[in-house]
Structure 1
Amino acid sequence: MMCSDIHIDDVSQDKKQSARELLKSLELSRDGCVYFVRDRVRWSFYIVRGKLVYASHSLDSFERLERHLRSLSREVPSLNDKLRSQLRLMFDDPSPEKAKYKVTSEMLCVEYLAILWLVDENYLPKPMAGKLVARIIQEVVESFLCLPNGNFNDIYYEHFLQQTYCSLSIDRIVEVVNQRLKAWYSLGPTIRSPYQCPYLVSQSTAEKSMSPETVQRLGRILRGFNFCQLGALLSKDPLAIAKQLSILISDGAILLRDPLSPFDMLPHTYYLAPEAEQENITQLSETFVDEVSSGDDIANISQAFKSQSAKTWKIVCIDDSESMLSIISSYLGREDFQVTLIQDSMKALMKINSIRPDLILLDIGMPNVDGYQLCTLIRKSSALKDIPIVMVTGNKGIIDRARARFAGATDYLTKPFMQADLLKMMMRHLL
């Protein structure tokens, strides 16, 4: 593997450049991977014959893959929750000692290896892999083009993808994304990022625009997910969701919170431009005002949320630590979760049999019967074998993950975790 500095289009490294200029200059790059590091985020672009065949950035790339796989699962049923969890256990291991992908990931994004595996194992047809890759490219380019002008240090790698599934004209993808960014900009300054998290804070205000039943469903799904995650849940474009919710945001029915880590490191779609540029940007935004009326927006978002289940999910949490059970209970303390806390692993199996939960959160390090043993026992029960089991542990090593997988675990949650991490786990396996 050889890598070397490359000065694309002979542009001086001392000259401030725009992300758009840099991306368009890749049309003249050799086949391979060109990546840029800016504000601690690594942006990777894979080029073949001047076309863009993949793109990624270093912030939780597997979460991005999971979201797009979830959206595609409506067209490809094999991309179900169980398979997506299997992918995470196989490929998304943060342990530095995991040597299998340690070197490769410097030149080849680990999530792309997961896509290759899906195609090779016949879970994902090649045309659908092309659609998946195109959607990922669009999302990455959308964030990249929001970067302010500055100095970009670029590195070129000769190593290349084993197989490609789509080939996009850089001119065309820049044109499409620029139109989307104008639309995002028109929603500012309140909505300034696809990774902001909307929360329902006033049911009475929302009920002026939609039925109480729809408002209830709206509140159940707006529980810490950002616009991109909501897009995956509802199978809709995040931009469309932001437009439709903007009415309720303006009315004060919905409160927007800043992007959660690590997405707070990504640039905003709305920013305060230099005064000399502000007038031009304002005029540009005005030319892209959505002609859909407010009533139509409310009708659209109402229809999307009407399809959401009103089910109360039964969650069993098994942990010998009373403080950990208390934390999990507080994180899930909502009317749509019925949480059962179990401290004694010896009695857990009997209780699980009587409850028949929708999901089990299982600590690994417990006395008497540990999490691995209990998980194995649960999987031997014909009545319980298909319940998602999430192993909760402070251990991050490959051996621990392998043992969890062999015991029959569906997924893996590493301590310490935030409420958003737990809710994302709920999204993967329940919604």
Structure 2
Amino acid sequence: MQGQLSELDIRSIFQLIDIGQQTGELCIESFDDQGQPNSWLMFFANGGILYAGRTNEQLERLQDILHPLNLSINWADVDLSNLAPLRPPEYGALWWLLENNHLTTQQARAILCRLIEETLFEVISLHQGQFSFRFRASLSPQLTDFSISPLVKRAVRQLQGWLQLHPHFSSFYDCPLITDPHQLETSSSLPSLLAMANGKTPIIRISRHLNRTIFSVADGLYPYVQRGEVQLSHPSSVGSKKATGPITGTVPRVVCIDDTLSVRQAIEMMLDTYGYEVTSIGNPVKALSLLFSLKPDLILCDVAMPELEGHQLCAMLRQAPYFQSVPIVMLTGKDSFVDRVKANMVGATDYLTKPFGEPELLALVEKYVGRGNPKRLAPGTLLEQEISATLNPESWSNS
């Protein structure tokens, strides 16, 4: 089952899944006002919903929701490497917390319900985009399932309340800021709400930290916004990764991982001409260790590779703190909706469809690391000499 949201609204899709007691995965993709893609993935079993979140969801949302519990967890030490590459990391982390007795079953179910409700609140108002439902064995293991109808009704009621706050509130990612902290020092109402009005924390994150719905947070801030005591900054792009230019005087470092020699050579030639420092790696297993030494600003990664598939490599890199913010662009010969969802699920920043030309490649690289420096000094060859034997499988010995 697939189609356009303009032809079948999301509530009707949920109703069909509920009535038909369907089991499978629902993928939804839409674009924001700036043309940036956003996508969500939801798992169902016999019509009940098991989990819902953005396809590129990592652990930030879960960490925010866990904040009121004051758990002592060093997330850098949490080993989630045994999870399947396309399994939602957030759901896997919730299971890890439950299995390691950081949460009770009741707490885990309540947190899971909150994750689902937040996602429904985000998607319920979408009228443009596309959806795809795949009938297949759903999420495993299963913590619990929730009846979709009551959750949708609650999301609709909250959305109706949210719409009453327009035009003051235009996005869940608006960041409230107290205009005059001294004026509100004596206020006894909503102290925790105002304490987070620092101009940097969006409404959706405030709601998680305070264990409140997005609408109730906005509704609590509304009187202060009306009186001008709190102002809202409106982000230019919601849910998208910001492009960052290179630091002055530095050369953006790009690593290309592709098992096809001709592709690596073409990318090296194009990017080197425009002043980028390019390293190509032919073997994904070797790449996994070399990347920690190279510390690239951008990674271009092929999808279909032997030994270690590109999605798996991306998922592994996203577990390391350093690579959680490094843009990773998947190079793929396919351009289907499902393939884009898979890329987003493992934390890929973007994708580039093969075959591509110089203009497409340069536009994408500039988007994430800015322009290169054609006048840069010739790079040293020491690192290249040290790792040249491992970069290209064509030079390996059969011994």
**TM-score, length of structure 2 as denominator length:** 0.54
Whole-Å separation in 2 of the counterparts to 1:171 and 1:218: 30
User: How many positions carry a matched residue from both structures?
Assistant: 257
Cα drift, residue 109 of structure 1? 1.4
Structure 2 unaligned blocks of 5 or more: 32-36, 242-246, 251-293, 300-312, 328-399
Residues 1:22 and 2:16 are matched in the alignment: no
Whole-Å separation in 2 of the counterparts to 1:250 and 1:14: 35
- The residue number in structure 1 matching 2:369 is none
- When residues 415 and 24 of structure 1 are mapped into structure 2, their CA distance, relative to the original with a 3 A threshold, is closer
Q: 1:241 is paired with a residue of what secondary structure? A: helix
Question: What amino acid maps onto 2:219 in structure 1?
Answer: K
Whole-Å separation in 2 of the counterparts to 1:231 and 1:15: 30
Whole-Å separation in 2 of the counterparts to 1:201 and 1:216: 15
Q: 1:135 is paired with a residue of what secondary structure? A: helix
Q: How does 1:144-163 map to 2 (within 5 A)?
A: 144-148=123-127, 150=128, 152-156=130-134, 158-163=136-141
> Which of 252, 257, 261 is the equivalent residue of 2:233?
257
Cα drift, residue 136 of structure 1? 0.4
- The residue number in structure 2 matching 1:178 is 156
- When residues 15 and 191 of structure 1 are mapped into structure 2, their CA distance, relative to the original with a 3 A threshold, is closer
Cα deviation, 1:247-276, whole Å, max 9, x if unaligned, reads 1111112110124754369xxxxxxxxxxx
- The residue number in structure 1 matching 2:213 is 237
- When residues 167 and 154 of structure 1 are mapped into structure 2, their CA distance, relative to the original with a 3 A threshold, is same
Q: 1:168 is paired with a residue of what secondary structure? A: coil
Whole-Å separation in 1 of the counterparts to 2:64 and 2:13: 28
Whole-Å separation in 2 of the counterparts to 1:165 and 1:105: 19
- When residues 42 and 175 of structure 1 are mapped into structure 2, their CA distance, relative to the original with a 3 A threshold, is same
Q: Are the equivalent residues in 1 in contact too, given 2:24–2:133 (CA < 8 A)? A: no
- When residues 21 and 216 of structure 1 are mapped into structure 2, their CA distance, relative to the original with a 3 A threshold, is closer
1 or 2, which has the higher helix percentage? 1
- When residues 415 and 241 of structure 1 are mapped into structure 2, their CA distance, relative to the original with a 3 A threshold, is closer
Residues 1:35 and 2:31 are matched in the alignment: no
Whole-Å separation in 1 of the counterparts to 2:139 and 2:239: 26
Cα drift, residue 181 of structure 1? 0.9
Cα drift, residue 214 of structure 1? 8.7
Residues 1:86 and 2:76 are matched in the alignment: yes
Question: What amino acid maps onto 1:83 in structure 2?
Answer: I
Residues 1:48 and 2:55 are matched in the alignment: no
Whole-Å separation in 1 of the counterparts to 2:22 and 2:194: 50
Q: Are the equivalent residues in 1 in contact too, given 2:94–2:108 (CA < 8 A)? A: yes
- The residue number in structure 2 matching 1:283 is none
Q: Are the equivalent residues in 1 in contact too, given 2:57–2:88 (CA < 8 A)? A: no
> Which of 91, 98, 123 is the equivalent residue of 1:119?
98
Q: 1:83 is paired with a residue of what secondary structure? A: coil
Q: Are the equivalent residues in 2 in contact too, given 1:394–1:414 (CA < 8 A)? A: no
Cα deviation, 1:61-116, whole Å, max 9, x if unaligned, reads 42222212223x1xxx5xx2x416237x645xxxxxx9x66xx444x312111112
Q: Are the equivalent residues in 1 in contact too, given 2:190–2:220 (CA < 8 A)? A: no
- The residue number in structure 2 matching 1:143 is 122
RMSD after superposition: 4.1
Cα drift, residue 52 of structure 1? 1.0
Whole-Å separation in 1 of the counterparts to 2:40 and 2:325: 28
Q: 1:137 is paired with a residue of what secondary structure? A: helix
- The residue number in structure 1 matching 2:196 is 221
- When residues 247 and 412 of structure 1 are mapped into structure 2, their CA distance, relative to the original with a 3 A threshold, is farther
> Which of 186, 189, 194 is the equivalent residue of 1:211?
186
Structure 1 unaligned blocks of 5 or more: 1-5, 92-97, 266-320, 325-392, 406-410, 418-431
- The higher relative CO (CA closer than 8 Å, separation ≥ 6) is in 2
Q: Are the equivalent residues in 1 in contact too, given 2:22–2:47 (CA < 8 A)? A: yes
Whole-Å separation in 1 of the counterparts to 2:28 and 2:225: 35
- When residues 83 and 37 of structure 1 are mapped into structure 2, their CA distance, relative to the original with a 3 A threshold, is same
**TM-score, length of structure 1 as denominator length:** 0.50
Q: How does 1:417-428 map to 2 (within 5 A)?
A: none
